Structure 1
Amino acid sequence: MPSVAQKAKKSAKEEAQAYIQVTNQRADKIVDNMAISDRTKKLKVRDYVAQQYRDLSRIHEQRDARVKAVKETAGTNKQATEKRIAEIDEFTNAELAKLHQTFIGNLQAQLSAEQVDQVKDGMTYGVVPITYKGYLAMLPNLTEEQKTQIMAWLVEAREHAMDAGTSEKKHGWFGKYKGRINNYLSAAGYDLKKAGDEWVAREKAEQEPNSKK
């Protein structure tokens, strides 16, 4: 009969194997939507993406464990606790930046610039193209300069969101940058509430003829 320690070890091993399978499947969904005809290259890219998910999870889990330990052992000196947590976050961000750079370098060695963007969009739920398309539809009179700025901020948000540890935090990065975009557009004279209402009305008007067919 296996001991409690053996069962725990087996369980931990099974959990690790299950997580590898989950990350492989998640990566497969991204890569399967890309036009990569070379099977070897496709598998290599899949492995890069899956490993990136695992490495991100490890870094974020280590960060959370360190912060938890600091809070549990913290005394009454709140300032010292906050300083220690800030140091942990600074270290974590440095690790994430290094991991991000290596990951993108690996992708660029295998894929075109357009395909690398496809991977990035796949890891961030396609928020960049969806949001950009939404701004163009809501504000059809945007200047080329404004379109360029909107896309630049969305792409910047995506770089951060790729490294976030949860879906909520990924969307949080886009929310932050969308706020910046909205402030930029408001300063340029756009009434976003009015534009949004008019966009909804246009969408509704376009759908009504189709519903009568």
Structure 2
Amino acid sequence: MSPIHKKYIKSWCTVAFLLFAGAVFAQQKFDEAYIKVTNERAEKIVNDLGISDAGKQLRVRDIIAQQYRDLSVIHDARDEKLKAVKEGTGSKEEKEKAAKKIEKKSNKAIARLHKSYLKKLNSELTPNQVTGVKDGMTYGVLPKTYRAFQEMLPDLTQAQKDTILAYLTEAREHAMNAGSSKEKHGWFGEYKGKINNYLSAQGYNLKKAGEEWKKRREAQANNK
């Protein structure tokens, strides 16, 4: 098969997935209750951004709410196809191969949506406000976890802090696109594992550090 032919097939597969997602969206008429939920979820995030202009507040709310809905379309399309593969005929190996292809196409669609979403946010918000949206969509796990590592290990170097923050930032980018709270926290869990491995390689005894940090917190609580 020629490289051009392969490229054509690859492009067609991506288009096919997006068409399928579009078909799901066409069938999935979001009811008023779901629209209300996504609007309220987005509005809660917007309220913490310090936007004084009412028109901008509404525009940003709609951008965030629509992102939740667009993500659900891709997730639903993916889940439908994965379910069909699981319940269909074929060997275990064939099903695993098909599932990987579905996940790959879904991830590409999500990556494109993510890029478009950030572009829309950046057209309305400052960099700090965009960060606020990201933290709002991921329950503030990044700043909480980053602060916890620094409290547990007060002698971290700046280079080590920067590495921890870089890992958590990457985790947040993935978690923003997850379809559930469990999946969002799962991304941070995966990257916290990477951070732990990194710190262990840097010579930290995390178990001991965790125990000592617990004692410090208990002592502070008793002194209040």
TM-score, normalising length: structure 1: 0.90
CA distance in 1, matches of 2:28, 2:40: 19
Look up the match of 1:27.
42
1:110 counterpart (124, 127, 130): 124
1:48 counterpart (63, 67, 74): 63
Equivalenced residue count is: 198
Give unmatched runs, 5+ long, in structure 1: 1-11
Give unmatched runs, 5+ long, in structure 2: 1-26
Q: Does 1:65 align with 2:61?
A: no
CA distance in 2, matches of 1:74, 1:178: 38
Pairs within 5 Å for 1:126-165: 126-165=140-179
Q: Deviations over 1:5-24 (max 9, x none)?
A: xxxxxxx9996211001000
Look up the match of 2:183.
169
Q: How far does residue 47 in structure 1 lie from its aligned partner after superposition?
A: 0.4
Report SS of the residue matched to 2:223.
Answer: helix
Q: How far does residue 206 in structure 1 lie from its aligned partner after superposition?
A: 1.2
Q: How far does residue 37 in structure 1 lie from its aligned partner after superposition?
A: 0.7
CA distance in 2, matches of 1:203, 1:110: 41
Q: How far does residue 204 in structure 1 lie from its aligned partner after superposition?
A: 1.2
Q: What percent identity do the matched residue pairs reach?
A: 55
Look up the match of 1:8.
none
Look up the match of 2:103.
89
Q: How far does residue 74 in structure 1 lie from its aligned partner after superposition?
A: 2.0
Greater than 3 Å deviation, 4+ residue runs? 12-15
CA distance in 1, matches of 2:50, 2:100: 42
CA distance in 1, matches of 2:176, 2:79: 18
CA distance in 2, matches of 1:207, 1:173: 31
Q: How far does residue 125 in structure 1 lie from its aligned partner after superposition?
A: 0.5
CA distance in 2, matches of 1:40, 1:166: 29
TM-score, normalising length: structure 2: 0.86
